[in-house]
Amino acid sequence: MLPILLLMLENEDDRKLMEQYYEKYRQLLFKVAHDYLDDMQQDEDCVQNALVGVIKAFQTFKSLNEEAQRKYISTICKRCAYRFNEAHKKTTVEPLNECVDQEAIYTYFNGLDDYSRIELIAVINRLNEKYREPMRMKYKDKYSTAEIAEALGITENLVYQRIHRGKEMLFKMLTEVE
pTM over 0.85: no
* Same domain assignment for residues 127 and 150: yes
Indicate the residue type of 37.
L
Final residue belonging to a domain, choices 64, 83, 111? 111
Final residue belonging to a domain, choices 55, 82, 111? 111
DSSP helix/strand/coil, 32: helix
Q: Cα(119)–Cα(174) distance, rounded to whole angstroms?
A: 10
* Same domain assignment for residues 42 and 19: yes
- Per-residue pLDDT tens over the stretch 116-173: 656 666 777 788 888 888 888 887 777 888 999 999 999 999 998 998 888 778 777 7
- Structural domain tally of the chain? 2
* Same domain assignment for residues 95 and 139: no
* Same domain assignment for residues 6 and 85: yes
Final residue belonging to a domain, choices 111, 133, 149? 111
Query: Exposed/middle/buried for 146, CB within 10 Å: 0-12, 13-18, 19+?
Result: exposed
* Same domain assignment for residues 103 and 132: no
Dihedral angle over CA of 14, 69, 22, 117, nearest 10: -70
- Per-residue pLDDT tens over the stretch 3-51: 677 777 778 898 899 889 989 998 988 888 888 786 788 888 888 888 8
**How many whole angstroms from its chain centre is CA 159?**
22
* Same domain assignment for residues 54 and 97: yes
Q: Cα(21)–Cα(25) distance, rounded to whole angstroms?
A: 6
Q: Cα(23)–Cα(14) distance, rounded to whole angstroms?
A: 14
Indicate which CATH number applies to the domain containing 166: 1.10.10.10
Q: Which residue range(s) make up the domain with 76?
A: 1-111
Asked if 82 and 96 count as a contact pair (C-beta separation under 8 A), the reply is: yes
Query: Exposed/middle/buried for 20, CB within 10 Å: 0-12, 13-18, 19+?
Result: exposed
DSSP helix/strand/coil, 158: helix
* Same domain assignment for residues 97 and 107: yes
* Same domain assignment for residues 152 and 91: no
* Same domain assignment for residues 148 and 84: no
